[in-house]
């Protein structure tokens, strides 16, 4: 599985379909330098994780199973479609600063089976 590179996107908000059937392995999405908030829309319960270089964190790897050893958040989504908003963090675990915090990655995976997942990249706090 190859990472989805959105780092060249120049306008906010920018929406990208990650996949109509994302499985239980991590899918990496590289976000642009200006992005500080990501809204994830999903059809089923998912895991998500941030790769921000924070000390002591186990970073996910694109294509690997979303195992219990990764620093991840599990989001239970109710109904046929749900959303979760994620504030991106830097290596000191502070909110990302546009233009200062380098490109970061967000990882998503279905908790079980598959999920249709899309992301909206934005700026905010």
Q: Tokens 């109904």 map to which residue?
A: 79
- Architecture (CATH level 2) of domain 4-122: Sandwich (2.60)
Quote the Cα angle for 28-90-120, to 5°: 45
Ranges assigned E (strand) in the chain: 4-5, 14-22, 27-31, 37-42, 46-51, 73-75, 82-87, 104-110, 115-122
Q: Residue 114: is its pLDDT beyond 90?
A: yes
Q: Are 15 and 120 in contact (CB under 8 A)?
A: yes
The encoded tokens of residue 63 equal: 């294509």
Rounded-to-integer distance, Cα 38 and Cα 65, Å: 22
- Dig out the tokens for 52 from the structure: 């921000």
Tell me the pairing of strands 82-87 and 37-42.
Answer: antiparallel
pTM for the model stands at 0.84
Map out the domains of the chain as residue ranges. Answer: 4-122
Question: What's residue 116's pLDDT?
Answer: 93
For residue range 39-77, list pLDDT tens digits in order.
Answer: 999 998 888 888 766 666 677 888 888 876 667 766 766
């Amino acid at each position: 599985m190859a990472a989805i590179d959105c780092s060249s996107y120049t306008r906010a908000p920018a929406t990208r379909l990650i996949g109509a059937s994302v499985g239980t392995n991590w899918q990496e999405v590289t976000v642009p330098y200006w992005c500080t908030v990501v809204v994830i829309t999903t059809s089923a319960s998912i895991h998500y994780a941030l790769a921000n270089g924070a000390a002591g964190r186990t970073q996910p790897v694109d294509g690997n199973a979303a195992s219990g050893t990764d620093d991840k958040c599990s989001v239970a989504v109710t109904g046929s479609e749900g959303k979760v908003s994620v504030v991106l963090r830097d290596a000191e675990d502070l909110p990302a600063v546009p233009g200062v915090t380098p490109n970061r990655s967000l990882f998503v995976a279905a908790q079980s089976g598959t999920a249709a997942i899309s992301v909206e990249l934005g700026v905010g706090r």
